[in-house]
A = this chain, B = another copy of it.
Amino acid sequence: MSKPNIPKGTRDFSPEEVAKRNYIFNVLKSHFQQFGFLPIETPSMEKLSTLTGKYGDEGDQLLFKLLKRGAKFEQALNQVSKSEGVSDHQFSEEALRYDLTVPFARYVVQHLNDISFPFKRYQIQPVWRADRPQRGRYREFYQCDVDVVGTTSLNAELELIHIINHALSALKLPNHTIHLNNRKILYALISSCGESSNFNKITVIIDKLDKVGKEKVLAELADQINNPSCTTMFESIFDLGNDYKDIISWLKSRVGATELGLEGIEEISYIFENCNQLGLKNITLNLTLARGLNYYTGTIFEVVLNDYNMGSIVGGGRYDNLTALFGLKDISGVGISFGAERIYDVLNESQLFPDEISLGPEFLIIDQSNAVSNAFKVAEKLRELSKRSMIYPDKQHKLKKKLKYANQNNIPYVLFISDNFNDNMSLELKDMITGEQKSIQLKQITHEING
């Protein structure tokens, strides 16, 4: 029988990996909670009608659809036999969720009567995409989303910037930059060269700037859009530099006279000025930031680690019409998503996980006495002291094997219960790192451990 394995693009997580992943999730959760966000969870599967058409054609292709069962499956088969127009939709009514944003919009509309706005929610759950697996890209992975819906206040944006700085600092992630832009500005700019009908097409092209570089983006713009004023404008944008004031004054001269342009400039100015007042650092105005997703309508965010050559580790933005997908209009919201998988890779490669996140036993109890109850008594005492312990279950194994077990499992202390334990309650405590061993009394154990 060949060794069993798991579907490609999926992963098992060992105890050490689970501990590390939970560390990231817990840091994020505690920050989300401190800023007044509350957790929700949605089912792994959604109706196909909820998901299809929300992620573009490519996204629809990547949905993991669930196969119909029983009579419904037979019916689908019959349709095939009759050669009626057949697609995979006839074989499926449900699919695994592709992200947390669409299910969240569905949740808000479905539970409207139980929600008071502004509704601040976070959600940390897996999502599934039938993408071609590659390094750092999985078919099952976690998203960590935090959103506030039901307010147009830009203070929500300020708060998200606050959370990003706090959480990344708590995770000890070094040197990040929060790139900010505003889709209203982008729209005004693209409209200013008469290309508003190509808005999505152009944002997709300029979104590639980081990957392919300035020359190729300009060439693609010239090729696909074929409007010299548009290409020239983006050339100017690419050459603008990083100075906030320069960019704003250029923007004002270019699109400050249009309603949308002015709104965008005012929004981004509000954010930058208040960040300045609040001492919120690491932000930069980046007019080439576009974000692929169509539903963003205002501020957009992307966070990169300056010292790591990888994509963004946080992304998000404001959306004015997301719940409109499910018939509920005029609920503006803004949210960001932390890329836990990339954060994990950085912390792991740079050995930034704290030592104390291990969940493993701190004591291995090796019973050399006659009564089973002795080991249980000692373990109970350790639990009262909130110490994790493990009784080695197989008394007949050789001592060498037992000590090797402690080493293999990084258990720092071994407690031996000798056969005269019942007379004097005395134990031998062995430090597995130094190798030192000494006799202690059970009642002294508190002192020995904490002292």
Residue positions of A touching B, CB distance < 8 A: 1-7, 10-15, 18-19, 22, 33-36, 38-47, 50, 61, 64-67, 69-70, 73, 77, 80-81, 83, 86, 88, 91-94, 96, 106-107, 109-111, 114, 116, 118, 120-121, 126, 128, 130, 140, 148, 151-153, 155-156, 158-159, 162, 166, 274, 277-278, 326-327, 359-361, 371-373, 375-377, 379, 383, 386-395, 404-405, 408-409
Contacts and interface: CB of A to CB of B under 8 A. Distances in A.
Given A14-B111, A67-B88, A166-B383, 9 more contacts: A1-B326, A3-B327, A22-B39, A34-B386, A34-B387, A35-B379, A69-B130, A152-B394, A155-B375
Contacts of A38: 15, 18, 359-360
A144 to B, nearest CB: 14
B3 A110 contact: yes
A156 B372 contact: no
Contact of A153 (B61, B80, B327, B394): B394
A412 to B, nearest CB: 13
Contact of A372 (B140, B155, B390): B155
A14 to B, nearest CB: 6
A40 B70 CA distance: 34
A38 B362 CA distance: 12
Looking at A1, A3, A4, A10, the one whose CB has the most chain B CB atoms below 10 A away is A4
B69 A66 contact: no
Contact of A80 (B34, B81, B107, B116): B81
Given A34-B389, A376-B162, A46 B77 contact: no
Contacts of A390: 35-36, 120
A190 to B, nearest CB: 30
Given A81-B83, A327-B1, A373-B277, A7 B94 contact: yes
A44 B5 CA distance: 13
A128 B278 CA distance: 48
Contacts of A107: 12
Given A15-B40, A38-B359, A409-B116, A45 B153 contact: no
B6 A395 contact: no
A140 B43 contact: yes
The complex is assembled from copies of this chain, and their number is 2
11 contacts: A7-B47, A13-B40, A13-B41, A14-B111, A18-B38, A35-B390, A64-B66, A81-B81, A152-B394, A155-B393, A278-B377
B43 A7 contact: yes
A19 B4 contact: no
A2 B277 CA distance: 46
A46 B395 CA distance: 37
A129 to B, nearest CB: 11
A109 B174 CA distance: 39
Nearest to A112: B3
A18 to B, nearest CB: 4
Contact of A36 (B40, B50, B388): B388
Nearest to A47: B7
A39 B19 contact: yes
Given A44-B128, A44-B140, A277 B371 contact: yes
Contacts of A1: 326-327
A362 to B, nearest CB: 9
A155 to B, nearest CB: 5
B46 A7 contact: yes
A73 B88 contact: yes
Contacts of A7: 43, 45-47, 93-94
Nearest to A156: B393
Nearest to A21: B41
A34 B388 contact: yes
Looking at A35, A66, A404, the one whose CB has the most chain B CB atoms below 10 A away is A66
